[in-house]
Structure 1
Amino acid sequence: MNLNGIGQASSYASSAFASNSVSPTETYKRLIGADRILAAAAASMNLSRGEFEQPRIRLVDQTSLIHLEITGGTAEEAQARGDALLAAFFAELDALRADEQATREDSGLAAIGDYKSSVATTRADIAKLQNDSGLVSVDQYNAIVEATRMLESRVQDLAATLQDKTHSVASLETTLGIPAKAAAATLKLYADAQFIALTDEVGVHAARLAEAQSRFGDGHPKVQDARAAHAAAKAATLQQAKQVTGLTMADLGTLDLAPAGARADLLAELVRMDAERAGIAQHHETLSRRLERELARQHALAAPAARLQDLQRDFRVAEAVFATAIARSQSTKSDVYASYPLVQVLENPSLPYNPSSPNRTLAYAAGIAATFMLLVGLALGWMRSAVINRLLNKPGDPA
C-alpha cells in the first residue's frame, strides 16, 4: 500500500505450509487434543472432562487433512461430541488469533507513540526556528538568494551605464567648455523674456556708447551719459540673471552668453545627458543600498536556512515513518491467518450406522476360535489320559 507523499506499508501473509520446520496440521493435531479444548467441548454437553473421551486424531499422508474419530454411548451422542469438539476447536482458534492481533497491536502502539513524539518535537523545533528567523521555508531562502543575485546583476549593469553617461557628459563639457550646471542655468536664463529684453537694451546702450565715443572724448557729457546708461542696463541684466538662476555674481561669469544656433542645441543635449546621468546615479545609489541590505539579510539567514532544511528533512522522515507505522499497524489487522491458517470442515461429523464396538463378526469369530481351542484342549486331555493308562497297564511291569 503506497500513501502518496507520506509513506509505504507492505503487508503479506506467508503460507504456514511453506515452512519445513513447522507443520500446521501437526500443530492443530496437538491443539485438538489439548485439555482445555476437550474440557470446553465437555462443558458444552454438560459432561465432565473424564466422561468426554479422548478423540483419535490421524493425519492423512500427502495431504493437509486431519481425520478425527470420537466415540459415544450412542450414534447420536458420538455425532454430538464431534460437533462440540469442532465448535470448541474453532472457538479456541478465534481466541488465539484475537490474542495474536492484540499482542501485535500493543507492541506497535509503543513504537507509534515514539514516532508521534518525534514528529511533534521536530515540528516544534521548526516552528520555533521559523518564528525566530522569520524564514518560512528553504524555498523562501532560495528565492531571496535568487532575487539578490538578480539585484546584484542590475546594480552592475547600472554602474556600467552610469560610467558611460558620465564619460559622455564629461566629453561634451570639455567640448563646449562649460559645465553641465552652467549650461542648464544658461538655457534657463535665455528662456526668460525679461532677461532677453534687458540683453537687447544692453546692446542698444552699448551701440550708443560706441557711437558717442567715436564722436566725442571720454570726458564729454554724452559719452558719460551713454556709459552710465550702459552700466545700468548691464547691472539690471546681471541682477535679473541672478534672480532667475539663483547663482552668485561670481558664478554668473561661467555662463555661456552666446547660446545661439547649434551651440544652443549642444547645450540642451548636455543638460539632457546630465539629467539622465543624475537619474541613473540616483537609481544606482538606491539599488546599491538595497543590495547591501539584501546581502546582509542573506548572510544572516544562511545558518537558519541550513538548520531549517535539516529539520524539514527530519520532519519528512519522521512523518513518513509515523504514517508508515500506522498503515502497517492497520494493514496487519487483515492478516489473521499468519500463525493459525484457515481451517475448513470438509465433512461434518457423521452419524455412524454401526457401532464401532463390539464387532459382531469379530465376536463370532472369537467365539468359534475359543470353542475350537476348548475342544482341542479337551481332546488333548482325553488323549493324554488314555496314553497314561496304557503306559501304566503295559505288560511285564511288576504289579
Structure 2
Amino acid sequence: MQYPIILPTRFQRFRAFVYRVLKWPYLVFALCGYMFIGVIVTLYLNKAPVYKSELELVLPGTGASSSVSIDNVGQVVSQTSAPFSVGGFNPRVNYKEMLLSRGVINLAREKTSLSLMAFGQPKIALTEQTSILAVSITGSSAAQSQAKAWALYQSLQQELDRLRADEVNSRDLSIQGVLADYRVRLNEARANILAFQEGSFLVSQEQFTLLVASLQTIKEKQLYLQAQETNLRDYSFGLSKKLGVSADLAGKAFILQSDVEFRGLLKELDVSTSQLSEFQSRWGEGHPKVAAEQQRYNAARKALLQRSSDIAGPHAANTFSSLDLEMNPKRAQMFADLIDASARREGVEAELVDLERSELQLSDQLKIYARESAVLDRLQREFDLAEAVFTSAAARLEAGKADVFASYPVVQLLTEPSLPTDIHSPIPQLGFAAALVGFIFITSGVTVLCNRRRIIKALLNRS
C-alpha cells in the first residue's frame, strides 16, 4: 500500500522544529536563563536614576554635673550621667530605632511634601566602638536626597525635643504634688512659731542670747566693782587711820573752814594765844594784862567751840576747833582724798546694790526665757527642716528642668547631609558584571548537567 506524499505547511514545519528543540531540554533552560538575565539587567539599567545623601550623627560621651549650695538651707546636686555609662542599653540603638520610627518618618515626609512610599526608608549604620550613627537616604535627584536628609535630621531633633518636654512635664506634675505637701508643712511650722511668739515673752533666740550676755556682763561688772570697792575701802581706812579722822569728820572740817565767822574766831583765837604767851613771858600769871588776855582767850575759845558745835557737831568741834587747813595744804589735800575715796566707795556700793537687784531680775527673767527658748528652738528646728526640704525639692525641680539630656542624650551633627554629584543607582558596570556572572553560572551549570554521566563515570574510574 502506497501513501501519497503531502507537503507540510509552515505551521507544521514550525511545530516539527519545536519538537526537535524540546528534545534538548538543557538548551531550552540555558536560553530561558539568558533571556531572564537579560531582562533583569535591562530593567535595572533603564530604571530612573537614584541619588544618595549621607550624614553622620554623634552622641557626646561625657556626662555633666552641677552643685547648688543655699546658705543655711542645704545643697542641691544635679548630675547627668554619660549616655554610655549604663550597660543595659545603647542610646545609639535607641536613636536608630527612632530614625526608623513612623513618627520621625511622617514628620520628615511632611517637611518634604512627599508620600510615605516616595520618601522611603533611611539606612542607618552603627560604627563599632564609637558613638557615631551613619545615616543615608536616597532620592530621585541630588537636591531631593539632600532635602530628605535634612528633614530626617530636623524631625529627629523635633521628636527628641517633644520627648524631653513631655518627660519634664511629667516630672513637674509629680514633683508639684510633693511640693504642695511640703508647702503645707512649711506653713504649719511657720504658724506654730507665730502662735508661740504671740503668747510668750520670748520672740527670738537672739533675745535669749542677748539676755544671757547681759547677765554675764552684769556678773563681770560686779566682780570688777567688788574689787574696786575693796580697794577704796582699804585706801579710805588707811588714810583715815593716818589722819585720825573719818571721812565724815574730814567733810565737816571743810565745812568749818568755809564758814566766815569760824575763820574770824579762829584768827581771834590765834591772836589771843600769841598775845597771852607774850604777856605771860613778860609779866607772869598775876599781871592784870595777863588776866585780861586770858579772859579774851577763853571767850574766843568758847565762841569757837560753840560755832564748831553749831555747824559740825560736838565731836567735830573738839577736833577742829583750832585747825586751819589753809595753813597746811598737804593735810587739806589728804582730807580731800579721804572724802573723795569715801564718796567713790559709797557710789560703788550703791552701784553694786543696783547690779544685784538687776541680776535677780534678769535671773528670774532668764528662767522664763530658758523654758520658752527650748520650745522656740524646737519649733524653729521643725521650721528649718521643713524649709530645707521644701527649698531642696524646689531646687531639684528647677535643676531637673535644666537637665533635659538625662534620658535623651544630646545628638550632634558630625557631617552635614551631602549633596550627591554621582548617580547612586543604576550602575552600568554593575549591571554588565552581573549579566556576565549570570551567563557564566548558567553556562557552567548546563554544561555540568549535560556531561554529568561522563563526570560521574570518570570519578568512579578514578576511585
Shorter-normalised TM range: 0.5 to 0.7
Q: Give, in whole Å, the separation in 1 of the partners of 2:309 and 2:119.
A: 134
Find the partner of 1:339 among 400, 407, 421: 407
Q: In structure 1, what is the equivalent of residue 338 of structure 2?
A: 273
Amino acid at match of 2:415: L
Match of 1:171 in 2: 241
Aligned residues with identical type, % of pairs: 24
| Counterpart for residue 161 of structure 1 | 231
Q: Taking structure 1 as reference, are residues 190 and 309 closer, same or farther at Cα in structure 2, changes over 3 Å only?
A: same
Matched, 1:257 2:325: no
1:197, distance to aligned residue in structure 2 (A): 4.7
Once the 2 structures are TM-superposed, how far is the Cα of residue 26 of structure 1 from its aligned partner?
0.6
Report Cα offsets for 1:153-182 as digits up to 9, x if no partner: 322212322431453266357xx3x65434
Q: Read off the aligned partner of 1:154 and give its amino acid letter.
A: Y
- Alpha carbons of structure 1 residues 145 and 332: separation in structure 2 relative to 1, 3 Å: farther
Q: How does 1:266-305 map to 2 (within 5 A)?
A: 269=334, 272-294=337-359, 296-297=361-362, 300-301=365-366, 303=370
Whole-angstrom distance in 2 between the partners of 1:365 and 1:127: 99
Checking the alignment, whether the CA contact within 8 Å between 2:138 and 2:145 is kept in structure 1 is yes
1:173-211 CA deviation, whole Å, 9 max, x = no partner?
7xx3x6543454355335544335556479979x8xxx9
Q: For the aligned residues, what is the CA RMSD? A: 5.6
Distance 1:363 1:226, change over 3 A: closer
One of 122, 125, 137 as aligned partner of 2:206: 137
In structure 1, what is the Cα distance between the partners aligned to 2:159 and 2:341? 96
Shift of 1:27: 0.8
SS at match of 1:58: strand
Deviations 1:222-267 (A, max 9, x none): x9x999999987775555334433x4xx667754534479999768
Matched AA of 2:423:
Y
Return the structure number with greater strand share.
2
Within 5 Å, give how 1:57-76 maps onto structure 2.
57-70=124-137
Most deviating of 330-339 and 31-40: 330-339
8 Å CA contact 2:236–2:341 kept in 1: the answer is no
1:185 equivalent to 2:259? Answer: no
Summarize the alignment of residues 1-399 of structure 1 with structure 2, pairs less than 5 Å apart.
9-49=76-116, 52-70=119-137, 79-104=146-171, 114=182, 118=186, 125=193, 132-133=201-202, 137=206, 140=210, 143-145=213-215, 147-165=217-235, 167-168=237-238, 171-172=241-242, 176=244, 179-186=246-253, 188-189=255-256, 192-195=259-262, 197-198=264-265, 200=268, 237=304, 239-245=306-312, 247=313, 255-259=319-323, 269=334, 272-294=337-359, 296-297=361-362, 300-301=365-366, 303=370, 334-343=402-411, 344-348=413-417, 351=420, 353-355=423-425, 360-361=431-432, 364=435, 368=439, 372=443
Q: Deviation digits for residues 294-341 of structure 1, max 9, x if unmatched?
A: 563366356266777777888888777777666665555554433222
What is the distance in 2 between the residues matched to 1:328 and 1:337? 15
Does the CA contact (< 8 Å) of 1:201 and 1:233 recur in 2? yes
How many Å separate the matches in 1 of 2:441 and 2:257?
A: 162
Change (3 A) 1:287 1:363: same
Q: Cα distance, 1:47 vs. partner? A: 4.5
Q: Per the alignment, in what secondary structure is the counterpart of residue 68 of structure 1?
A: strand
| SS in structure 2 of the partner of residue 95 of structure 1 | helix
Which whole-Å CA distance do the structure 2 matches of 1:19 and 1:195 have between them?
113
CA distance in 2, matches of 1:134, 1:232: 77
Kept in 2, the 8 Å contact 1:16–1:341? The answer is: yes
* Post-superposition CA distance 1:120-141 (Å, at most 9, x none): 9569949985994476837745
Q: 1:186 to 1:356 in 2, by over 3 A?
A: same
Describe the SS at the equivalent of 2:134. strand
How far apart in 1 are the matches of 2:154 and 2:253? 118
Letter in 2 for 1:342: V
Q: Report if the CA contact (8 A) 2:189-2:382 is conserved.
A: no
The Cα of 1:16 is off from its aligned counterpart by 0.5
Counterpart of 1:289 in structure 2: which amino acid? D
- Offset at 1:71? 5.1
Q: Which amino acid aligns with 1:348?
A: P
Structure 1: runs of 5 or more not aligned:
217-222, 384-399
DSSP 3-state at the match of 1:137: helix
> What is the CA distance between 1:357 and its match in structure 2?
9.7
Q: Larger deviation: 286-295 or 130-139?
A: 130-139
Describe the shift of the 1:89–1:255 C-alpha distance in structure 2 as closer, same or farther (beyond 3 A).
same
Measured in 2, the distance between the counterparts of 1:243 and 1:159 equals 33
**TM-score of the two chains, using structure 1 as the length reference:** 0.64
Q: Distance in 1 between matches of 2:399 and 2:250?
A: 87
Evaluate the alpha carbon distance shift between residue 165 and residue 129 of structure 1 in structure 2; reply closer, same or farther with a 3 A threshold.
farther
After superposition, the Cα gap between the structure-2 partners of 1:318 and 1:169, relative to the gap in structure 1 and judged at 3 Å, is farther
Partner amino acid, structure 2, of 1:41:
A
Instruction: Please say if residues 185 and 386 of structure 2, whose CA atoms lie closer than 8 Å, have aligned partners that are also in contact.
Output: no
The one-letter code matched in structure 2 to 1:277 is S
Residue 23 of structure 1, CA deviation: 0.5
Pick which of 261-270 and 15-24 moved more: 261-270
Query: Structure 1 residues 240 and 67, CA, compared in 2 at 3 Å: closer, same or farther?
Result: closer
Question: Displacement of 1:24 after TM fit?
Answer: 1.0
Stretches of structure 2 that go unaligned for 5 or more consecutive residues are 1-66, 277-282, 454-463
